[in-house]
A = this chain, B = another copy of it.
Amino acid sequence: MKISALLTSAGINIGLCVLLLSLYSILRKQPGNVNVYFGRRLAQEHSRLRESFILERLVPSPSWIVKALQYKEEEILAIAGLDAVVFLRILVFSMRIFSIAAIVCIFGVLPLNYFGQEMHHGQIPSASLDVFTIGNVVERSKWLWVHCVALYIISCAACILLYLSGAKKACKKFGHLTDTVMDRRCRPAIYRCGLCGGSTTSFQLYQNEFEPNSEKTDRNNSNLIASEEECASAFVFFKTRYAAIVASQVLQTSNPMIWVTDLAPEPDDVYWSNLWLPYKQLWIRRIATLLASIVFMFLFLIPVTFVQGLSQLDQLQQRFPFLKGILKKTFVTQLVTGYLPSVILQLFLYTVPPMMMLFSALEGPMSHSLRKKSACLKVLYFTIWNVFFVNVLSGSVISQLNVISSPKEIPTQLARAVPRQATFFITYVLTSGWASLSSEVMQLFGLIWNFIRRYVLRIKKDPTASSVPSFPYHTEIPKVLLFGLLGFTCSILAPLILPFLLVYFFLGYVVYRNQIINVYCSRYETGGLMWPIVHNTTVFSLLLTQIIAVGVFGLKESPVSAIFTILLVIFTLLFNEYCRQRFHPLFKSYSAQDFIDKDREDEQSGRMEEIHQQLHSAYCQFSPHTGDRCHPETEGEGEEEGQCSTEVNDRNRSQDMKDGLSHPTLSGLPVAKLQRAVKSLSLIIALQNKSSTNV
């Protein structure tokens, strides 16, 4: 590929992006599309766009970009939660690190690559792109140390940005701002103090601990319950956040599989149908879905190979002679070879995130956010494998496995393959990256569906709030991280990718801010749990870059640079180990000190009472605005419990049984075991009685 061809391609893509974004700036002003482009604001702020003049509505304007950039981080936190902030922080991190990398590599490395060999340089536009890669540097060049220094600068900058800004800030936010969000949303922060456990055996245990006066009273009761079989799960509420965190972190019984405790997710976040799953199944499910995902990852190579076969029409014609007549027409041939393969591939690619979401649901997570996080990880592995490694190793499954099975060869193999594929990655950023942002902002599916709804099906009613989509972190985070990986690995090998990548990240920052503010609703959140994924992937990308660099320096016979790069690998590993020691526990659990401070604050301000009262109605499987099944907050406490037990008996006879129970503490009981549980129901309610007074 020549540089002129690249510039042409870039020009076309830039034109396309400008066109689509202008189109968007017009479409968003049409009142008919308001629920496509302002779903969140319609649902949460109940705001209406003012009716403007017809002319203004038809003129494209960049005002939406200004509006998107105007919002402060605190406002976004209040609107869309911590996850959105973390996601935008990934983009900020990428913009920063790749700005540094671009400056270092364009001015330091690129000229070295270009003048790396004694050769006649024609005009730049007609030069091959390969001239700009490290492949053009002669072996044993004395200038390779510049590449090494550039790698050091990039790695150090990445580590510093990950640590001195990324992790620390994320942790701080994680610690303090979650509370702020909760307060602003008027969600009582004690929601998280609910406890989601493996069985009901040790209810009494907590009571004795935190209410010393009632010691021993329920000993017999609990033994009765213990004699029942495993009862999937139950919620337990505590007086203070600290008590909840203690109960969730301490090993309960001498058989760790009988009684597993965990902090409950936020009420909207609970994955009710998974709560029935007995704990003993979970580890099998986890292993099974892991295997299934790996198989799926490799099976995906089949359509890829099939699609690649489509472009070789000769073979197709030989196999299916009847196609000859059709394929003689130029138009059909162009369609089949040029367009069809990418469409088919894209269609197959669209199946990946739902498939991974399905796998993650089967895994049995107890909250939607955990499910999304798990799916995010799976999509990430899939993307990195199928876009980066499959293209780099470009061969059959067997040859790929061969590379994996001889680890010593990996650096050399990658060092040979990555610069060769750099051109492809640049065009990938141009087409897939920029195009995905444009289609994201255009919301093509939503737009078409809205059109059909309005003008074909003629549905007049506005869609409900629940139809507003939530932000697809599990597809967008892997996308951004993949481009980061491409940027790191290509940075010193083929620095030409960096300007295009920077454009992607800047554009992405504007687009995603706009989407988060206007389009997507955040019903639940992981609480910043995506950050460790980002951190680990970035460190992985850095290590991969360094390993490839070791291979390249080896091929170029520059042992000094290779040794220095190996040192850099060791430093990066040490950095990662330090971060793991320093930050990992925080993402796994909460610190007692923060919880105690918060408890004390609420106790002094008198908010604790209020929180306790709200807690009773919080964990309800059928939320008031969907099922209208239970409104315990309007009823007295005694009534509520009485009502619940009768309700359970009614349900036993009804068809609705499989949907579960409406009472918070009972919702976790597996319906299949309900008959058995009903026998000891009064006991559980008695216990619940105790724990309510306890709360």
* A→B interface (CB under 8 Å): 171, 175, 202, 205, 208-209, 242, 245-246, 249-257, 283, 287, 402, 405-408, 574, 577-578, 581-586, 589-594, 596
How distant is A262 from chain B, measured CB to nearest CB, in Å? 13
Chain B residues with Cβ below 8 Å from A253 are: 591-593
Query: Are A582 and B251 touching (Cβ within 8 A)?
Result: no
Query: Are B596 and A209 touching (Cβ within 8 A)?
Result: yes
Query: Are A257 and B171 touching (Cβ within 8 A)?
Result: no
Chain B residues with Cβ below 8 Å from A405 are: 406-408
Chain B residues with Cβ below 8 Å from A254 are: 171, 175, 586, 591, 593-594
Tell me whether A242 and B209 are in contact in the complex, defined as CB-CB below 8 angstroms, given that A252-B591, A253-B593 are known contacts. Answer: yes
Query: Are A287 and B591 touching (Cβ within 8 A)?
Result: no
Known contacts A205-B593, A253-B591, A254-B591; 10 additional CB pairs below 8 A are A205-B596, A246-B246, A252-B593, A253-B593, A254-B586, A254-B593, A256-B585, A257-B581, A283-B578, A287-B574
Query: Are A577 and B256 touching (Cβ within 8 A)?
Result: no
Copies of the protein in its oligomer: 2
Query: Are B591 and A251 touching (Cβ within 8 A)?
Result: yes
Q: Which of B287, B402, B408, B585 contacts A251 (CB 8 A)?
A: B585
C-alpha gap A251/B209 in the complex (Å)? 19
Q: Which of B251, B287, B591 contacts A592 (CB 8 A)?
A: B251
Closest-by-CB residue of B relative to A282 is B581
C-alpha gap A4/B287 in the complex (Å)? 51
Chain B residues with Cβ below 8 Å from A407 are: 405-407
Query: Are A252 and B582 touching (Cβ within 8 A)?
Result: no
Chain B residues with Cβ below 8 Å from A250 are: 245-246, 249-250, 592
How distant is A204 from chain B, measured CB to nearest CB, in Å? 11
Query: Are B593 and A202 touching (Cβ within 8 A)?
Result: yes
How distant is A177 from chain B, measured CB to nearest CB, in Å? 13
Query: Are A582 and B202 touching (Cβ within 8 A)?
Result: no
C-alpha gap A578/B283 in the complex (Å)? 8
Query: Are A586 and B256 touching (Cβ within 8 A)?
Result: yes
Closest-by-CB residue of B relative to A286 is B577
Chain B residues with Cβ below 8 Å from A256 are: 581-586, 591
Chain B residues with Cβ below 8 Å from A590 are: 251
How distant is A284 from chain B, measured CB to nearest CB, in Å? 8
Chain B residues with Cβ below 8 Å from A578 are: 283
How distant is A254 from chain B, measured CB to nearest CB, in Å? 5
Q: Which of B252, B283, B582 contacts A255 (CB 8 A)?
A: B582
Closest-by-CB residue of B relative to A256 is B585
Q: Which of B205, B581, B593 contacts A283 (CB 8 A)?
A: B581
How distant is A42 from chain B, measured CB to nearest CB, in Å? 38
How distant is A475 from chain B, measured CB to nearest CB, in Å? 30
Query: Are B257 and A582 touching (Cβ within 8 A)?
Result: yes
C-alpha gap A405/B594 in the complex (Å)? 47
How distant is A163 from chain B, measured CB to nearest CB, in Å? 13
How distant is A176 from chain B, measured CB to nearest CB, in Å? 9
Chain B residues with Cβ below 8 Å from A406 are: 405-408
Q: Name the residue in A251, A583, A584 with the highest tally of chain B Cβ atoms < 10 Å from its Cβ.
A: A251
C-alpha gap A240/B246 in the complex (Å)? 15
Chain B residues with Cβ below 8 Å from A242 are: 209
Chain B residues with Cβ below 8 Å from A205 are: 592-593, 596
C-alpha gap A171/B583 in the complex (Å)? 32
Query: Are A287 and B252 touching (Cβ within 8 A)?
Result: no
Chain B residues with Cβ below 8 Å from A596 are: 205, 208-209
C-alpha gap A283/B405 in the complex (Å)? 31
C-alpha gap A242/B407 in the complex (Å)? 49
C-alpha gap A251/B583 in the complex (Å)? 12
Chain B residues with Cβ below 8 Å from A408 are: 402, 405-406
Tell me whether A592 and B252 are in contact in the complex, defined as CB-CB below 8 angstroms, given that A283-B581, A405-B408, A406-B405 are known contacts. Answer: yes
Closest-by-CB residue of B relative to A582 is B257
C-alpha gap A252/B406 in the complex (Å)? 44
Q: Name the residue in A209, A246, A405, A407 with the highest tally of chain B Cβ atoms < 10 Å from its Cβ.
A: A246
C-alpha gap A245/B209 in the complex (Å)? 13
How distant is A407 from chain B, measured CB to nearest CB, in Å? 5
Query: Are A249 and B252 touching (Cβ within 8 A)?
Result: no
Chain B residues with Cβ below 8 Å from A592 are: 205, 250-253
